[in-house]
Amino acid sequence: MGGRRGAKPLTRRDWLFGSRPRRMALEALLAEPAGEAWSKARLARAAGVSPHGGIDEQVDGFVRIGLLERRDGGYALADPPPAYAATLAALLRELERLPDS
């Protein structure tokens, strides 16, 4: 995690998602097996943001769109996952071909 705070410039891979932490959080979530438990702190580390509130907006959004569920004091991918989850994972894999700059 870098020392710079605040909004980071969007890379080519980030542009569709509006923020680098959102893209990185999605990549991490969708790379794990279904049922994997996530704390906000763990997801913040995966997204490269502060574990002290840096991921709150993304987590709230993922819950609102049905991608994440609150479970056992943390979070997990919705079971069953929403229909768009596989498409989103495929899009993220395709974007890996772009330079991350």
Residue 35 lies in a domain: yes
Residue 2 lies in a domain: no
pTM for this entry: 0.86
Residue 81 lies in a domain: yes
Residue 5 lies in a domain: no
Look at residue 55 in the predicted model and tell me its pLDDT.
94
Task: CATH number of the domain at 61, please.
Answer: 1.10.10.10
- Distance of alpha carbon 18 from alpha carbon 16, whole angstroms: 6
Look at residue 99 in the predicted model and tell me its pLDDT.
84
* Angle formed at CA 14 by CA 84 and CA 23, multiple of 5 degrees: 50
Given a cut of 70, the residues of the chain with pLDDT beneath it are 1-8
Provide the residue range defining the domain that includes 45: 18-92
Could you give the number of structural domains in the chain? 1
Look at residue 2 in the predicted model and tell me its pLDDT.
47
Distance of CA 5 to the CA centre of its chain: 18
Residue 79 lies in a domain: yes
Tokens standing for 93?
A: 């894999």
Tokens standing for 68?
A: 């994440």
